[in-house]
Amino acid sequence: MMATGELERMQAAGGDPLEREFVPRVAAAAVSVFSLTVMSCAVAVALAYTVMYGASPDGFADFTRVVALVFGPAALGGFVLKCVVFGALVAVIPIAAGLHASTRLKSVPVVVLDGMVRLFFALGAVELLSLAVKYI
């Protein structure tokens, strides 16, 4: 949209691109990442139970005890916080990088690559920070 000048035209017409284009995309990306994370976590938990105890419900008590050991308040809060931060970064960084694109179409791949690299390093930084908080 930046390269094709749509945002400039919208701004020139008195429209607010932040409200019309950015906020919905950021919200959608955040919700998507949150949903994906929850789904993948649910699948991982179900898979872990199946691998350890099979389809039998007899291992539920032991499994619950292990879950209680793993997911303390701090671990659960940190996990939720990390998921939210990941979602926000995935939503914001690519779009913010897209705003740096010029009107030339050739600048689009460069901007996309730049956004991916920044997203990668941001996610890595968040992961390192969470590990540091956990073990230090």
Binding residues (CB under 8 A) for another protein: these are: 6, 9-10, 13-15, 20, 31, 34-35, 38-39, 41-42, 45, 64-65, 67-69, 71-72, 76
Would you say 63 and 71 are in contact if contact means Cβ atoms under 8 Å apart? no
What tokens does 97 get?
């990088």
Q: What is the nearest approach in angstroms of another protein to the Cβ of residue 12?
A: 10
Q: How many CB atoms lie within 10 A of CB 115?
A: 19
Q: Indicate the residue among 88 and 122 with the shorter CB distance to another protein.
A: 88
Q: What is the nearest approach in angstroms of another protein to the Cβ of residue 73?
A: 8
Please identify which residue in the block is written with the tokens 């930084």.
Answer: 125
Q: What is the nearest approach in angstroms of another protein to the Cβ of residue 79?
A: 10
